[in-house]
Amino acid sequence: MDPTKAMSVFSRACPYLARTGMSVLQGLAALPAAGSSRPLSTSAADQARCSVCPGHTGQSALLAKASECPVVGPSIRANEAAEAAATAHHHQVPAACPYAKCTASDKAPASAVSASEPVSHGSQETAFDYEGLYQAKLAKKHDDKSYRYFNNINRLAAKYPQAHTAKTSNIVTVWCSNDYLGQSKHPAVVDAMKSALDTYGAGAGGTRNIAGNSALHLRLESELATLHRKEAALVFSSCFVANDATISTLCSALPECVIFSDQMNHASMIQGIRNSRARKHVFRHNDLAHLEELLAQYPRATPKLVAFESVYSMSGTVGRIPEICALAKKYGAITFLDEVHAVGMYGPHGAGVAEHYDYDASLQAPTGQRIAGSVLDQVDIVTGTLGKAFGIVGGYIAASSSLVDMIRSYAPGFIFTTSLPPPISAGAVASIQYLSKSQRERFLQQTHTRELKADLDNAGIPVVPNPSHIVPVLVGDAERAKRASDMLLSDHSIYVQSINYPTVPVGQERLRITPGPGHDAFMRARLVGALDSVWNALGLKRTADWEREGGRCGVGESRANSELHVGWKRGVEHVWEDHQLKQAHAYELARKGGVAIEPTIPATVQQQIVSATAA
């Protein structure tokens, strides 16, 4: 109760207060009670609030004196008890409050522990069962058949595309490598790495900021900027890190940024979107109408980023790059294009699908020069990897010099990690330079992909339709996809990894096949025969079976319907069109003096294949 207001109430009932002058009462109201160390302010309003926890003050001498009165004392004490109970129920008094400290010191026994000391829970309490949680999470994976088993596969540089398993004498043919063009064993790449190893050693020595920035890093970034006809490039330890660091750094810097992400985007982009904490919308895969509907909800001045891929690795579908860029420009957005599964593979110089859209113009324009109005020129940020078609490891972005410098200056994923070792950078430079001039590997890879797709179609093996180099064979069940993979390896010495959730949705499990330049017609015939045998043994659905059920993932669906999501140009079956393959073939014949373009398969490898088949 406010002391000043209380005086008029108490004076009517208390003989002492009725005989005491107003100045004395005011003096008592301004003094603390006897024996209390809690100071009171001279203002009644100030007494009613505390700077730490409003509503708590010390008791004045006036109320202390009045509490001794046999008439009003019981009422005051009852009122204080009620207020104390209400305060305890609704408000936890902070330890920093001087009133709370004094109260605790007045009431606590001498042996009580100080409130400022942390509470200690005895060792008798049961600790959290960490191992139990680990085992429960793993059990869930086993129960839903999504647990991942890693096969021991050791690819042999001198016998590409073959490998040995844990037993070195057990030779298998690899049909699912992301070393799409076999560059990891190319002499030009290996020699460059050996030279750098002898000259600079094995390690980078630190981050780019601390002893880890070398001429090889700068040269690699220059090569990448030239390849994509951008002002600058920045190299990361992987493209997962590149995507995560770039999206999260950029979109957290853009005020009120909104991100628009394709439904089938890679986990690295999804992680970057989460880490940015920006608002996001997910548009249906390659659905331009849905994307525009979402973009149209925001003013043109709102910062926006549209994130998508050129080649989607598990389906082989291709992003609608020119149309998405046009929508982004219309609604004031910037574009973020992941070319991870396309760099080295598409375009006359291996810059990816965006370059391939302007194939002829890219052939004619000087290297590294911007081609105004081209599809590649419309893309704001390109990301790629050194770990797939280029055959090494690492990731990168290519964009304007100011954006690249901003990411370099702010992205933790770049700043606080050891840079790529010199041999890696040297090998990447050699691979990029080689593939920017050679069409041999791309020609063979694309030709082998077409031939395999045709053979599988004739056998009724269900291939998810797409215009790229990926050959996804639909199984539709996680457990049976794993069994099919195991049977190919154990019974046919063929390695093709099964793909399940969360890489693909449940019910869309598949085998992912990636033909390479080194897979010849003999190997291809063995693969098709092995798949046909496994399909029969496991009773897996063929294309006609999926068609009778209405289709799935484009398998067993009409071409018009599947074209809605496969991407590329309407009515054009392959990204590498027929006339472009003929042109690439003629170019290589002229470059090699008429030498035939065919896979280079060592005789020892051919003999091993024949032996394995006979066995």
Q: Give catalytic residues, as residue numbers.
A: 388
| Structure token pair of residue 52 | 């730490």
Burial of 578 (0-12, 13-18, 19+ CB in 10 A): exposed
Name 211's Cβ contacts closer than 8 Å, sequence gap at least 6. 205
Gap between the Cα atoms of 313 and 471, Å rounded: 10
CA diameter of the chain: 126
Q: Are 247 and 259 in contact (CB under 8 A)?
A: yes
CA nearest neighbour of 181 among 345, 315, 311, 339? 345
Q: How far is CA 121 from CA 118, 129, 524, in A?
A: 10, 17, 66
Name 114's Cβ contacts closer than 8 Å, sequence gap at least 6. none
Given CA atoms 442, 447, 452, 458 in this order, what sign does their dihedral have?
positive
Q: Are 214 and 424 in contact (CB under 8 A)?
A: no
Angle 422-435/215-227 helices, nearest 10 degrees?
30
Gap between the Cα atoms of 543 and 535, Å rounded: 11
Peptide bond into 118 cis (omega under 30): no
One-letter amino acid at 340 equals V
Q: Taking CA 460 as the corner, what is the angle to CA 456 and CA 465, rounded to the nearest 5 degrees?
A: 65
Measured in residues, the chain has a length of: 615
3-state secondary structure of 108: coil
Gap between the Cα atoms of 347 and 361, Å rounded: 10
Question: What pairing do the DSSP bridges indicate for beta strands 494-495 and 171-174?
Answer: parallel
Gap between the Cα atoms of 432 and 158, Å rounded: 21
